[in-house]
């Protein structure tokens, strides 16, 4: 999740992996935004993605809010 990337970055700063506070290297790291690849995977759990198999629709939580009633198609075995 995106939160994990920020938590990892904060932990690395705290551990001094980017140099001591106020150093040129650390300041550069702090000012650089965290970027994610367009092709990277996003894990979903029950809080973010809800399936309604009888209708067949999903409800998904996005940065813009929850989107409900998104139709999907799959085989009965899936």
> Residue 19 in contact with residue 30, Cβ under 8 Å?
no
Q: What pLDDT is recorded for position 46?
A: 81
pTM of the model: 0.47
Task: Tell me the per-residue pLDDT of 13-60, one tens digit each, with 9 for 90 and over.
Answer: 999 999 999 999 999 999 999 888 888 777 777 888 888 888 899 999
> Residue 26 in contact with residue 19, Cβ under 8 Å?
yes
């Amino acid at each position: 999740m995106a939160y994990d990337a920020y938590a990892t970055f904060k932990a690395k700063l705290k551990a001094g992996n980017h140099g001591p506070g106020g150093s040129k290297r650390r300041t550069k790291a702090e000012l650089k935004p965290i970027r994610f690849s367009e092709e990277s995977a996003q894990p979903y759990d029950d809080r973010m993605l809800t399936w309604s198999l009888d209708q067949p629709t999903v409800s998904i939580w996005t940065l813009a809010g929850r989107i409900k009633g998104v139709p999907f198609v799959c085989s009965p075995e899936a």
